[in-house]
A and B are shown apart, each in its own frame.
Chain A
């Protein structure tokens, strides 16, 4: 009896098209699907935006989402959320939408692919010094790695890598494990119980999207504000 299908182990293993090392896997396909939904939905809603008091339902939904993202960012960095909204908000929306679509049969979340979560973590890993250097300049930013003494430099660097790895593994592990649990439960108890687990999976997916984006914002904020506060840049790592 086949308990788990191949695509339930990892969508990276499902290759839809390949030409040399270039290959289209299920991960990419579902990623594009998620991207298409997000971008097309945004485009459709924002084509005709109302600046008056009366607005459409979907405009209201998007305004609530964007406002919530900006408020969360503002609570963390205590400054104008404008420069971080696109990056952090896209992280949340992408991961959230990827995890939300698991309610549809046959869909496998791209975030259950370690490549996807690693790509997102690498983006965060790169975004932190970019935001930090753009705000403080390269000298003060690099100097933070030698605080309080130069001996701490390797620990700072190690912390950067480990937290990036932790971001990737945390998201991948939660989503992938949930997929596996659903697959196993479907095989063992096909009625009712998988529905509950799906609902739990939705909650876990949203929580993971929130955690990932909030942690990314915390890292960025610590890099941006480290110089101003005189604290280590990795204070928010966990």
Chain B
């Protein structure tokens, strides 16, 4: 096979020219373009990586903050719950105390009302009893009773203590002494005589006995002489009894615990 030297040389030159042209118009430009693009992609990737790292750090920061907020909210919730329970307990205690106070007040009021009612009832009962007794005594009063009363008065007068007698004598130690005898019923001569027999020695000759009718003395006789007073009356007994009754009533009312225990 013949090889033309001119063709051979021409083809070598052609190829070298082709290498040059392709290097100029193809490889260098393409490689340069790809390098620029690769650099751009690398820069973008590094930027993306940087942004990704920033995003990850931001996410981590946000997650930490969310976690912190959750913890704080839980803590605040627990604190609020505890405070609410504490406040609830305090209010419950306050309400309980108020209820207790109201109950105590109510019980006290009830006790007072009960005591007042009982006192009033007992007073009324006592008053009614004594009025009844007085009424009975007044209804039963007759001459025999008046005589008995006069006898009791004389007995009392004659059995005065020495001190009492001294006080009476001192009251009568004056010129023309007057003894006033007050009674709830009319003293006739038959009843006056024993009285005068007892008083006359004390009065002497100048003395005078004045008899007065006084409805306030009840079933009894009262002696008054210049500031000295001596009386005997069923009312005195009744009043003494009533005073004792009231005293006992007062003592009983004064101990509400006893009352409460008996309620």
Contacts and interface: CB of A to CB of B under 8 A. Distances in A.
> Is chain A's binding surface mostly helix, strand, loop or mixed?
helix
A11 B17 CA distance: 21
Contacts of B7: 12, 23, 25, 27-28, 113, 115-116, 119
B190 to A, nearest CB: 156
A208 interface: no
Contacts, number: 118
B104 interface: no
Interface in B1-57: 1-4, 6-12, 14-23, 25-27, 29-31, 33-34, 36-37, 40
A12 B1 CA distance: 11
Most central of A25, A42, A87, A118 by chain B CB within 10 Å: A42
Given A52-B40, A118-B3, A118-B8, A39 B29 contact: no
Given A52-B40, A118-B3, A35 B21 contact: yes
B11 A66 contact: no
Interface residues of B, number: 32
Nearest to B8: A115
Nearest to A90: B19
Contacts of B14: 28, 31-32, 35, 119
A27 B19 contact: no
A90 B6 contact: no
Nearest to A23: B6
Contact of A66 (B10, B30, B36, B37): B30
A86 B19 contact: yes
B29 A90 contact: no
B12 A123 contact: yes
A36 to B, nearest CB: 10
Interface string A206-233: 0000000000000000000000000000
A115 B19 CA distance: 18
Contacts of B26: 38, 42, 46, 62, 66, 89
B33 A115 contact: no
A89 B27 contact: yes
A94 B36 CA distance: 27
Interface string A49-72: 111110000010011001100100
CB-CB nearest 7 A-B residue pairs: A119-B11, A86-B23, A42-B26, A115-B7, A46-B29, A42-B25, A51-B36
Given A86-B23, A115-B11, 12 more contacts: A12-B7, A28-B7, A43-B25, A59-B33, A63-B34, A85-B27, A110-B11, A114-B3, A116-B11, A118-B8, A120-B11, A120-B15
Interface of A: 10, 12, 21-23, 25, 27-28, 31-32, 35, 38-39, 42-43, 46, 49-53, 59, 62-63, 66-67, 70, 82, 85-87, 89-90, 93-94, 110, 113-116, 118-120, 122-123
